[in-house]
Amino acid sequence: MAKTIGVLAVQGAFIEHIHALRQLGVNTFEIRQKSDLEKNSPDGIILPGGESTVMGKLLHELDLFIPLKDRIASGMPIFGTCAGVILLAKEIDNDPTTYFSAMDIAVERNAYGRQLGSFQAYEEFSDLGKVPMTFIRAPKITKVFGDTEILSTVNNDIVAARQNNMLATTFHPELSDNPVIHKYFLDTFL
């Protein structure tokens, strides 16, 4: 049976994730309010890129924070991209705030500075070979701890990691034509 993935859709780059998932024949729905999570029973959830501070604020205002945190804690497969990684991290180097505080990683927000705000790379990802990566005002994963596993680095910076039910990429896999990383998430976590 086709799997169902909910994509957090309060802000940011969620539409592109929906398109990537549809290419893979997955059922999708947008998580805009609490009832979206209750009406649908997702097999996994994507936390997209955007602005983590804005998303964090909206998650609380829309009463989505606790329901999502509970699902993450209960082992639901979660894929965080860019700002989504910041939402998952237990430590944010340059910000006292944390959000779901679920994954044993430290991140630095906007870590590539103004000049390198956006760039492309083509690098090895786990055992998938080289994949295209688009970075947009991306964070860096500055540290992994616990049993977090590094999946990919670009110029020695960690750009992808996994731990238990969580997958994190600091780049935007939804912006490439070939949804290989989404397929990896579905194949490996669901």
Q: Is 109 in the site for ligand GLN (CB under 6 A)?
A: yes
Q: Which is nearer to ligand GLN, 42 or 56 (CB)?
A: 56
Instruction: Report in angstroms how near the CB of residue 108 gets to ligand GLN at its nearest.
Output: 9
Helix residue spans in 40-103 (DSSP H)? 52-61, 65-73, 83-88
Helix/strand/coil for 79:
strand
Binder among 30, 43, 51, 91 for ligand GLN (CB under 6 A):
51
CA distances, 128 to each of 49, 66, 134 (Å): 22, 34, 17
Within 3-42, the residues that bind ligand GLN by CB under 6 A are none
Contact code string over 118-157 relative to ligand GLN, x by CB under 6 A: ------------------xx--------------------
Per the CB < 8 A criterion, the answer to whether 151 and 118 are in contact is no
* Radius of gyration of the CA atoms of the chain, in A: 15
Q: Is 111 in the site for ligand GLN (CB under 6 A)?
A: no
Which amino acid type is present at position 145?
F
Residues that bind ligand GLN (CB under 6 A): 49-52, 82-83, 86, 109-110, 136-137
